[in-house]
């Protein structure tokens, strides 16, 4: 066993959190199995053998975006061909389909649309909720919330409370990318700063909503940038406790504008998920988003400390526009099979991580 | 049975038995299994090299009498899609391979209902003359047996003549699972496991090297999968005093799309378990290949830490897996980067695993 693995092992056994320097050393170590075993034991202690999944549908309501992030293959400039914006009845139709398919969650994010007023989003929220009262709505990244505040000239707090009042149940963790300014300047110069992302997220949490946190990795960032990113999240989580899961997103290079970026390899992805499990001691859940990792790597990640496999997604656009070769959707039965095959017990959860059903008996499927 | 006895055996270079292999496959956690395989791989390939060959699969015909239920490639002789490549077409493909610096020609077809040995002899002779640097690594055991039968030759005579014409080595395809119960289910018209073994053993006698494959995840039991590996291991042991033997073991998972057998495909964990186990059981075969063509580049990288040390070929052309809709493609440069990104030294090799170039 290498030194760093032994040191981290001792800390885990004493319930101490690991330092930024130690996280960095784990990234620099090639002891894949040592790292995997550490992450696996941390996860075992937190979550046992259970692996969560949810049945959801993504609705990317528009791809028109005033930002032109270099890593994004989804966005279209205003007026550019290929741009689309769903109207309310299209959104409702998709929500109804999702409801009929047994989804318990709508995951809604979109571009920063140049013309839609804040009232559109409020109406969208209210109508979806009225039509689907049992469906949880997880929508709008901190970037969108900040943008709504700008276009409505309302304080962020009020944007959040209005959306919440009309039906927003939680927010996804997108737009975090890599929080440090130097990386953001290269990959998403128009987007809100890392500080602002953290500030808005804090307001989301203090406004009474849970969120997730993502990290887009495998482009231009260094290991130190990843650790810095996770350090900021861990500090905010200490303050608010509002994060549910951490979701490392494997960068997909096709059709993007980051020269020479290839996206993370399979081992880098597994290590990153595992190290996040070890480092983020105040996050309950680490999620493998198979759309971007690939289903096989995402399943293997369940042995590297991951306890949440997302999801039975229907019609995903953002990752696929960037060349993700995963299928568009997974049947619930297939998710269950994948989890069991990794030696874990599948548990269907809702948006707020309440357990809906434990699939602990194959005979009762 | 404890894990400790298995670990002790591995560290004192003793071979595992079937029961221990089954325990590793079904009872041991993935990380422990992977770590054991990674250690064995390091012991056998301490220089950290990961090899590949520049090659092309030329499927000279898709007409096949076997009609295996797992296959999406074959068709009937009178099917509209049926084809048999002409010598000219084959030569053009091999020329393209040579232009890409290729050194290996993997020619496989269906088990064709009428091609006799003369067609292959003439082809191999001409290919050897025109392209002396390209190793003809072609024809799986099922094809050899078909050619022998159609030409009224024994397997030995058939192999001897093909060898004289220029066939240097034989790929291990058509092994699927070397247990007849499984074969009855997935490929009832194809040769049984003993015939597969017979062709390989005779080829080894004649000084030819071959590879062995495994197609898993087609309904076989863990016991049958273990049996497959031990049968390969025992054949290799028997080839000890022979001039040839198995150079590599290659496992891939059944790809169900467009096949009669259908069903689901093996998971990522399944694949890594099989690769790792093959490294541990097959202590008498040097090279374990990672199948990027069925698993994708990211899983291939992970497989390099679960016992594999070779990435197979660049496959300038591949048709059989592609027929199932699984179509990962890689250039030579991408293979080099794939290996380098996970800390290995990529090397280009010959079919016989001699290093040609280090990157």
Strands across the sheet containing A345-349 = A56-59, A105-108, A136-139, A170-171, A210-217, A243-250, A285-289, A308-310, A50-53, A345-349, A355-358
DSSP assignment of B125-155: HHHHHH-TTSEEE---HHHHHHHHHHTT--H
Partner-chain contact B302 A300, CB within 8 Å: yes
Structure tokens at B110: 């269906």
Considering only CA atoms, give the Rg of chain A: 20
Query: Which of A33, A300, A304 shows the shortest C-beta gap to B38?
Result: A33
Partner-chain contact A341 B31, CB within 8 Å: no
Residue whose C-alpha is closest to residue B121's, from B84, B77, B157? B157
Quote the CA–CA distance of A187 and A173 in Å, as a whole number: 18
Residue whose C-alpha is closest to residue A283's, from A293, A273, A291? A273
Residue of B nearest to A342 (CA): B269
- CB-CB neighbours of B238 under 10 Å: 13
Quote the CA–CA distance of B114 and B121 in Å, as a whole number: 15
pLDDT at A261: 85
pLDDT at A318: 63
Residue pointed to by tokens 């990843």: A226
pLDDT at A326: 62
Residue whose C-alpha is closest to residue B214's, from B137, B277, B300? B277
CA distance A291 to chain B (A): 14
- B164 Cβ contact partners less than 8 Å away, ≥ 6 residues apart: none
Enumerate the residues of chain A whose CB falls inside 8 A of the CB of residue B295: 296
Quote the CA–CA distance of B111 and A242 in Å, as a whole number: 63
Domain boundaries in chain A? 3-364
Partner-chain contact A338 B267, CB within 8 Å: yes
Residue of A nearest to B344 (CA): A30
Enumerate the residues of chain B whose CB falls inside 8 A of the CB of residue A346: none
Partner-chain contact A297 B305, CB within 8 Å: no
Partner-chain contact A294 B342, CB within 8 Å: no
Partner-chain contact B296 A300, CB within 8 Å: no
- What phi-psi label fits residue A37: left (phi over 0), alpha (psi between -120 and 50 degrees) or beta? alpha
Enumerate the residues of chain B whose CB falls inside 8 A of the CB of residue A298: 268
Quote the CA–CA distance of A206 and A198 in Å, as a whole number: 12
Partner-chain contact A337 B268, CB within 8 Å: no
List, for chain A, all residue ranges whose pLDDT scores fall below the cut of 50.
none
Query: Which of A40, A293, A300 shows the shortest C-beta gap to B272?
Result: A300
Q: E strands within chain B?
A: 49-53, 55-58, 104-107, 135-137, 167-170, 209-216, 246-253, 287-289, 310-313, 345-349, 355-358
Residue pLDDT, tens place only, B191-236: 999 999 999 999 999 999 999 999 999 999 999 999 999 999 999 9
Q: Among the CATH numbers 3.20.20.120, 3.20.20.70, 3.30.56.10, 2.40.50.140, which is that of B30-358?
A: 3.20.20.70
Percent pLDDT > 70 in chain B is 99
Enumerate the residues of chain A whose CB falls inside 8 A of the CB of residue B298: 265-266, 269, 293-294, 296-297
Query: Which of B30, B342, B343 shows the shortest C-beta gap to A303?
Result: B30
Query: Which of A37, A40, A266 shows the shortest C-beta gap to B298?
Result: A266
Long-range contacts from B62-65, C-beta under 8 angstroms, 24+ separation:
B62/B109, B62/B110, B62/B319, B63/B109, B63/B110, B63/B112, B63/B113, B64/B109, B64/B110, B64/B111, B64/B112, B65/B110, B65/B111, B65/B112, B65/B113, B65/B146, B65/B189
Alpha helices in B51-104 (DSSP H): 87-99
Residue of A nearest to B36 (CA): A33
Partner-chain contact B302 A337, CB within 8 Å: no
Enumerate the residues of chain A whose CB falls inside 8 A of the CB of residue B272: 300
pLDDT at B1: 72
Tell me the count of A-B CB pairs closer than 8 A.
Answer: 81
Q: At what angle do helices A3-13 and A20-28 cross, to 10 degrees?
A: 140
pLDDT at A256: 82
Report the residue count for chain A.
Answer: 365
The reply to whether ipTM tops 0.90 is yes
Coil vs helix vs strand at B42 = helix
List C-alpha distances in Å: A289 to A211, A217, B20, B135, B188.
Answer: 16, 13, 35, 43, 40
pLDDT at A314: 62
Mutate which: A296, A303, A338, A339, vs B, most B CBs within 10 A: A296
Quote the CA–CA distance of B34 and B103 in Å, as a whole number: 32
Mutate which: B38, B269, B333, vs A, most A CBs within 10 A: B269
Residue pointed to by tokens 């890593």: A71
Contact status, residue B304 vs residue B38, Cβ threshold 8 Å:
no
Q: Among the CATH numbers 3.20.20.70, 3.40.50.300, 3.60.10.10, 3.40.50.1470, which is that of A3-364?
A: 3.20.20.70
Residue whose C-alpha is closest to residue B108's, from B52, B62, B48, B154? B62
> How confident is residue B258, by pLDDT bands cut at 50, 70 and 90?
confident
Residue pointed to by tokens 């202690």: A45
Residue of A nearest to B28 (CA): A343
Domain boundaries in chain B? 30-358
Residue of A nearest to B264 (CA): A334
Query: Which of A265, A266, A300 shows the shortest C-beta gap to B269?
Result: A300
Residue of A nearest to B263 (CA): A334
Residue of A nearest to B334 (CA): A262
Query: Which of B31, B297, B300 shows the shortest C-beta gap to A303?
Result: B31
Q: Alpha-carbon torsion B76, B77, B79, B83, what sign?
A: positive
pLDDT at A330: 73
Residue pLDDT, tens place only, B301-329: 999 999 999 999 998 877 777 777 776 77
Residue whose C-alpha is closest to residue B35's, from A2, A200, A82? A2
Query: Which of A37, A297, A341 shows the shortest C-beta gap to B298?
Result: A297
- Determine the average pLDDT of the residues in B20-37: 97
Quote the CA–CA distance of A351 and A173 in Å, as a whole number: 13
- The neighbouring-strand residues paired with A72 are none
The separation between CA A100 and the C-alpha centre of its own chain, rounded to angstroms, equals: 25
Quote the CA–CA distance of A243 and A146 in Å, as a whole number: 18
Considering only CA atoms, give the Rg of chain B: 19
Query: Which of B34, B342, B343 shows the shortest C-beta gap to A33?
Result: B34
Residues of A with CB under 8 A from a CB of B: 30, 32-33, 36-37, 40, 262, 265-270, 293-300, 302-304, 325, 334, 337-338, 341-343
Enumerate the residues of chain B whose CB falls inside 8 A of the CB of residue A33: 31, 34-35, 38, 305
Residue pointed to by tokens 């943008």: A147
C-alpha dihedral (A163, A167, A172, A175), degrees to nearest 10: -20
Residue pLDDT, tens place only, B29-64: 999 999 999 999 999 999 999 999 999 999 999 999
- Determine the average pLDDT of the residues in B74-101: 94
Residue of B nearest to A290 (CA): B268
Query: In what helix (H) or strand (E) does residue A52 lie, and over which residues does it extend?
Result: strand A50-53
Coil vs helix vs strand at A18 = coil
Partner-chain contact B342 A337, CB within 8 Å: no
């Amino acid at each position: 066993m290498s030194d760093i693995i032994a040191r981290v092992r001792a800390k885990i056994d004493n319930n101490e959190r690991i330092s930024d320097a130690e996280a960095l050393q784990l990234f620099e170590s090639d002891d894949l199995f040592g790292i995997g075993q550490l992450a696996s034991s941390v996860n075992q202690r937190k979550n046992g053998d259970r692996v969560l999944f949810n049945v959801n549908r993504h609705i990317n309501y528009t791809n028109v975006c005033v930002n032109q992030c270099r890593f994004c293959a989804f966005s279209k400039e205003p007026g550019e061909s290929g741009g689309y914006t769903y109207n309310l009845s299209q959104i409702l139709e998709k929500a109804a389909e999702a409801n009929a398919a047994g989804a318990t969650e709508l995951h809604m994010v979109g571009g920063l649309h140049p013309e839609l007023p804040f009232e559109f989003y409020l109406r969208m929220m209210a109508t979806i909720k009225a039509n689907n009262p049992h469906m949880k709505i997880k929508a709008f990244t901190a970037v969108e919330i900040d943008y709504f505040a700008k276009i409505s000239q309302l304080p962020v707090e009020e944007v959040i409370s209005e959306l919440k009042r009309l039906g927003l149940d939680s927010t996804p963790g997108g737009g975090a990318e890599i929080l440090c300014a130097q990386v953001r300047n290269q990959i998403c110069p128009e987007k809100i700063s890392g500080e602002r992302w953290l500030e808005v997220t804090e307001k989301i949490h203090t406004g009474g909503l849970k969120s997730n946190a993502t990290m887009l990795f495998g482009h231009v960032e260094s290991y130190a940038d990843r650790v810095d990113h996770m350090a900021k999240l861990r500090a905010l989580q200490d303050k608010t406790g509002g994060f549910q899961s951490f979701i490392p997103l494997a960068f997909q290079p096709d059709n993007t504008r980051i020269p020479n970026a290839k996206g993370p390899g399979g081992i880098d992805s597994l290590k990153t998920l595992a190290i996040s499990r070890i480092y983020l001691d105040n996050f309950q859940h680490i999620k493998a988003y198979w759309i971007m990792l690939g289903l096989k790597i995402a399943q293997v990640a369940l042995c590297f400390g991951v306890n949440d496999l997302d999801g039975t997604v229907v019609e995903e656009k953002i990752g696929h526009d960037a060349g993700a070769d995963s299928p568009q959707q997974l049947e619930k039965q297939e998710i269950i099979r994948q989890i069991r095959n990794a030696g874990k017990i599948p548990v269907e959860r809702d948006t707020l991580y309440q357990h809906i059903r434990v699939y602990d008996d194959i005979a009762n499927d | 049975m404890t894990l400790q006895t298995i670990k002790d055996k591995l560290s004192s270079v003793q071979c595992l038995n079937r029961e221990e292999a089954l325990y590793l496959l079904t009872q041991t956690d993935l990380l422990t299994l992977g770590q054991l395989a990674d250690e064995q791989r390091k012991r056998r390939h301490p220089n950290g090299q990961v090899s590949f060959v520049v090659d092309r699969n030329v499927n000279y015909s898709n007409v096949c009498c076997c009609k295996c239920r797992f296959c999406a490639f074959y068709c009937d002789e009178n099917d509209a899609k049926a084809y048999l490549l002409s010598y000219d077409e084959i030569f053009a493909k091999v020329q393209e391979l040579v232009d890409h610096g290729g050194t290996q020609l993997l020619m496989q077809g269906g088990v064709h209902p009428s091609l006799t040995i003369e067609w292959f002899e003439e082809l191999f002779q001409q290919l050897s003359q025109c392209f002396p640097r390209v190793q003809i690594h072609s024809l799986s055991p099922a094809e050899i047996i078909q050619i022998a039968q159609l030409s009224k030759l024994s397997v030995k005579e058939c192999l001897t003549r093909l060898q004289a014409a220029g066939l240097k080595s034989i790929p291990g395809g058509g092994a699927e699972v070397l247990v007849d119960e499984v074969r009855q289910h997935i490929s009832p018209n194809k040769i049984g496991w003993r015939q597969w073994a017979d062709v390989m053993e005779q080829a080894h006698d004649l000084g030819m090297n071959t590879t062995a494959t495994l197609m898993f995840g087609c309904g076989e039991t863990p016991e049958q999968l273990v049996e497959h590996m031990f049968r390969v291991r025992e054949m290799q042991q028997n080839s000890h005093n022979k001039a040839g033997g198995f150079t590599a073991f290659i496992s891939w998972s059944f790809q169900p799309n467009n096949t009669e057998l259908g069903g689901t495909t093996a998971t990522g964990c399944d694949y890594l378990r099989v690769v790792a186990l093959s490294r541990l059981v097959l202590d008498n075969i040097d090279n374990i290949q990672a199948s990027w063509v069925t698993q994708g580049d990211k899983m291939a990288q992970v497989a390099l830490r679960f016992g594999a040390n070779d990435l197979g070929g660049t496959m300038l052309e591949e048709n059989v897996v592609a027929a199932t809709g699984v179509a990962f493609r890689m250039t030579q440069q991408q293979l080099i980067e794939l290996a380098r990104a996970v800390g290995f030294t990529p090397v280009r090799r010959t079919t016989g695993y001699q290093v040609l170039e280090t990157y």
